[in-house]
Chains A and B, each alone.
Chain A
Amino acid sequence: MTELRGSEVRKRIGWRLWQQLPLLVALVVLWMLLWGTVSWISVLSGVVVAIAVTRVFYLPPVELSGRLNPFWLLVFLCRFFFDVVVASFQVAGQAFRPRGVRSNAVIAVDLVTVSDFITTLTAITISLIPGSLVLEVDRDRSILYLHAIGVESVEEAERVRSKVLSVERAIVRAIGSADDVERTRA
């Protein structure tokens, strides 16, 4: 670490607060939803609880990319919901069909992004879609190791891999950094 002058330190602290802000706002909104009322008391107590929670259960600040495209976010959310519905009934079908499930696969997916945030979001999305779940994450190389159900051939495993990569591309388009957008396009 190099030495910092006073103004730079202040800038650092301001930046840190700015990074924490989305989390704080989300916590306050959640608090108000839990109470089911929007009033001065719920807002104030929410702010107090949010600050207390982020102090006590300290998490490393999330590095957001600072870019958000509402249109692609909407596209991503719609596609996510569609995927969840289709995959749910697919797995239900696998449970009921006479053949059952014959084989599975553990697949490594090398993500294009290097951002922790995008990796986490991709992992969460993949886990929420039935039929695939994340076993391990290689954070340094941003590789997800998935367990996918009902995969019967190497080609199908390949299809799951490209599916995950397309989910990643959708997330990057919505909230990834400009850098990542370039990389996923290539």
Chain B
Amino acid sequence: MTLDDWLDLAAALLLVLGGFLSLAAGVGLLRFPDALSRLHAATKPQVLGLIFILAAIALEARSWSTLLVLAPVLVFQMLTAPISAHMVGRAGYRTGNFREDLLVTDELDEAIERASKETGP
């Protein structure tokens, strides 16, 4: 096998890994108990899955200019994924979209209670 064949094989393997992470996200969506847990499932193909796929594209194309075109996709995703996760997470917490009985500790709730006691009578 030549080097090109090995690189093609590596690219194909990366595709399978990306597919595995996506499937894990899908399974997580179905099996995790509440909306906030499901949100964790969503963030995993967003970052590592995308890295795998972009690496596969770079291995297949084998040119520096492709790498420059691919970079903004990853940068954009890494800048926006935390924002959307935070927005959804905050909305989920504020609307009570989680199962309190599953929380080991809820230190945000404690902090809110402490704050309302201080400002109260």
Contacts and interface: CB of A to CB of B under 8 A. Distances in A.
Interface of A: 30, 33-34, 36, 84-85, 88, 91-92, 94-96, 100-108, 123-124, 127-128, 130-136, 138, 143, 145, 147, 149, 151-154, 156-157
7 contacts: A33-B71, A84-B48, A95-B27, A134-B82, A134-B89, A147-B40, A151-B104
B75 A147 contact: no
Given A95-B28, A131-B40, A136-B93, A106 B20 contact: no
Contacts of B75: 30
Contact of B48 (A36, A85, A132, A157): A85
A124 B33 contact: no
A154 B103 CA distance: 10
- Ranked nearest first, the 8 interchain pairs of A and B with the lowest CB-CB distance are A92-B24, A127-B82, A95-B28, A108-B107, A88-B48, A105-B104, A145-B108, A149-B40
A33 B47 contact: no
Given A104-B34, A127-B85, A157-B105, 11 more contacts: A36-B65, A36-B69, A84-B48, A84-B51, A96-B27, A105-B105, A107-B105, A124-B79, A124-B82, A130-B48, A133-B86
B104 A152 contact: yes
A33 B65 CA distance: 9
B5 interface: no
Contact of A33 (B34, B37, B72, B98): B72
* Chain A interface mostly: mixed
A91 B105 contact: no
Contacts of B44: 88, 91-92, 130
B28 A30 contact: no
A103 B81 CA distance: 24
Interface string B94-118: 0000100011111111110000000
Given A36-B68, A84-B48, A145 B21 contact: no
Contacts of B106: 105-106
B78 interface: yes
Contact of A106 (B28, B41, B68, B103): B103
